[in-house]
Amino acid sequence: MKHFDNRIAAITGAGSGIGRALALQLAEHGAILALADIDEPGLEQTRARAEELGARVSVHRVDVSRREQVEAYAAEVEAQHGGCQLLFNNAGVSLVDTIETMDIEEMEWLMGINFWGVVYGTKAFLPLMRRAEEAHLINISSIFGIIGFPTQGIYNASKFAVRGYTEAMRIELAGTSVGVSCVHPGGIRTQIVANAKIAEENVQQTRQNFNQQFEKLARTSAEDAAAIILKGVLAKKVRILVGGDARFMDIVARLFPSRYEVLLRLNKMIGR
């Protein structure tokens, strides 16, 4: 994609974090925004700030785990804006627990948002994007879609699934007008960890301690993450690593696929 001016951009999870940062930076570049989230107050705050930057904005309350709501979102975007050239499947949640103790219902909840939300968004918006002269579809995975991480088993599963789904789609759409990128952020200073479901009794970790450790490790701001993502889209990158930690862990995992957990000391993080 050569530029964002007058491009219609649909963004899920736009009420905070990377989603909000993407919306505001796209607004500065002249994009037309169709913003979705289940967090209506956060969504309205993003709308207000984007409109202050001069953007044309529509907001849509959408639970991405509900296919009918995502399909309605795509239909509303087409009706209000006439199409879609950019789709950011960004909405996501986190669950901290061991695989042995994790409830199936909690796993289904997370997969519904993190994986099926991406699938529903892709299926609903891709027909609109295929009609565009130029379009780009961006799915947000994670560095945890590249390495396994203790107490993040189902989050890993969802992000590895997003990665595989996106890479297959990229190959299928090669040579068409639709570009495809898979984004792998490292530690980003957003509310995803603060809002995570944490099984404190199973992971021997309090929410306060978990949040404090994350704050120390998360070196990249949502604004910097959004800037890296948008730069990658303009450069037509198929794989976008966000943050020095993501780049480092990706290198370690590729060089030592069978023992990266030892080199990264991940095996020391779970008490036996």
Catalytic, 165? Answer no
Active-site option among 73, 120, 155, 260: 155
Q: Which CATH number fits domain 8-268: 3.40.50.720, 1.10.510.10, 3.20.20.140, 3.30.450.20?
A: 3.40.50.720
Please give the average per-residue pLDDT across 131-145, as a whole number. Answer: 97
Per-domain residue ranges for the chain? 8-268
| Nearest by Cα to 197 from 267, 102, 114 | 102
- Taking only the tens place, the pLDDT of each residue in 18-70 is 999 999 999 999 999 999 999 999 999 999 999 999 999 999 999 999 999 99
Q: Which two tokens stand for residue 97?
A: 């627990």
pTM of the model: 0.91
